[in-house]
Amino acid sequence: GVRLGSWPALCLLVVLAAVAMISTASLAVLLARNEEQAGTIGTVTVFVLAILGGNFVPLSQSGGALSTLSLFTPNGWAVHGFANLAVATSDPIHAVLPQLLALVAFALITGLPTVLLARRSVEAAGV
């Protein structure tokens, strides 16, 4: 009985959220010096993003501070987007446009350095 809204808008939101979150976590992992550090940094990054983004505690029940902090994470923008999409009655893409744009920004801001660092790591390894 859950209302998910428009399927095209939902799919777009899910894909952009995944790309933004993966890009952010990948950037954090690529900054590590060794495999053990990468695992730790990756785990901590994912949990911090999830906590601040409102994945464990509904933002509506957490008060103003967490809701504000959630806007500094791709998870938070995705959570806001899913909430907006669930209540959108007309033009669902327009209802989640700010969230979609924020997720694209996260993907670009963290994804471009990630690609450059990954490329440099591969070249340094001689692969």
pLDDT at residue 11 greater than cutoff 70: yes
Each residue of 73-86: pLDDT tens digit?
A: 999 999 999 989 98
Each residue of 104-127: pLDDT tens digit?
A: 999 999 999 999 988 888 888 776
Task: Pick the closest to residue 22 from 125, 118, 123, 124 (CA basis).
Answer: 118
pLDDT at residue 91 greater than cutoff 80: yes
> How many whole angstroms separate alpha carbon 64 and alpha carbon 4?
25
> How many whole angstroms separate alpha carbon 42 and alpha carbon 20?
14
The average pLDDT across 58-73 equals 81
Please give the structure tokens belonging to residue 127: 């692969």
What does the DSSP 8-state code read for residue 1?
A: -
- pLDDT for 62: 67
- pLDDT for 5: 76
